[in-house]
């Protein structure tokens, strides 16, 4: 039993962690009443996706995806594709966070608060 559990954790355990992180992010995005906390949870979800992709690119015994002299076998290097994709994903998450912060400041200016319940209860402050 212990062996099965250890084998599972070694082979698939990291997926569980990424899914838990993803679930935490989605849970927070749905349930938090504060928009700032929603933005933080969105970032947590993006980090979970990045972890998941990087896990897919892993290889046993592989080194960094920078070519070493005279070694050209594909087994010697980890997969560079998820790294390239996730590099751009990090940048996009930066952009979404920036736009979200700008929208939050606009909401704060118009409604005077960023708590969801106060905003939906109050309406436009004219």
Residues contributing to the site for another protein (CB under 8 A): 8, 10-12, 14-16, 19-20, 23, 26-27, 30-31, 55-60, 62, 64-67, 72-75, 77, 79-84, 87-88, 90-92, 94-96, 98-99, 101-103, 105-106, 109
Distance between the two ends of the chain, CA-based, in angstroms?
66
Q: What is the DSSP letter of 77?
A: B
Residue 119 CB, nearest approach to another protein (Å): 16
Choice between 79 and 123, CB closer to another protein: 79
Residue 123 CB, nearest approach to another protein (Å): 20
- Looking at the DSSP bridge assignments, the partners of residue 115 are 34
Residue 42 CB, nearest approach to another protein (Å): 14
- C-alpha span between 63 and 86 (Å, rounded): 18
As given in the structure block, the two tokens for residue 56 are 């897919």
Residue 34 CB, nearest approach to another protein (Å): 14
Choice between 6 and 87, CB closer to another protein: 87
Choice between 67 and 118, CB closer to another protein: 67
How many C-beta neighbours within 10 Å does residue 11 have?
Answer: 9
- C-alpha span between 107 and 88 (Å, rounded): 29
Q: What is the DSSP letter of 57?
A: T
């Amino acid at each position: 039993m212990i062996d099965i559990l250890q084998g599972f954790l070694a082979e698939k355990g990291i997926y569980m962690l990424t899914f838990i992180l993803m679930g935490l992010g989605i849970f927070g995005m749905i349930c938090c009443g504060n928009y700032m906390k929603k933005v933080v949870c969105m970032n947590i979800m993006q980090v979970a996706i990045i972890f998941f992709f990087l896990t897919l690119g892993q290889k046993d015994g592989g080194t960094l995806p920078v070519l070493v002299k005279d070694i050209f076998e594909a087994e010697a290097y980890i997969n560079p594709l998820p790294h390239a994709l996730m590099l751009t994903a990090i940048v996009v998450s930066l952009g979404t966070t920036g736009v979200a912060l700008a929208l939050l400041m606009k909401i704060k200016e118009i409604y005077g608060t960023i708590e969801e319940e106060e905003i939906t209860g109050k309406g436009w402050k004219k």
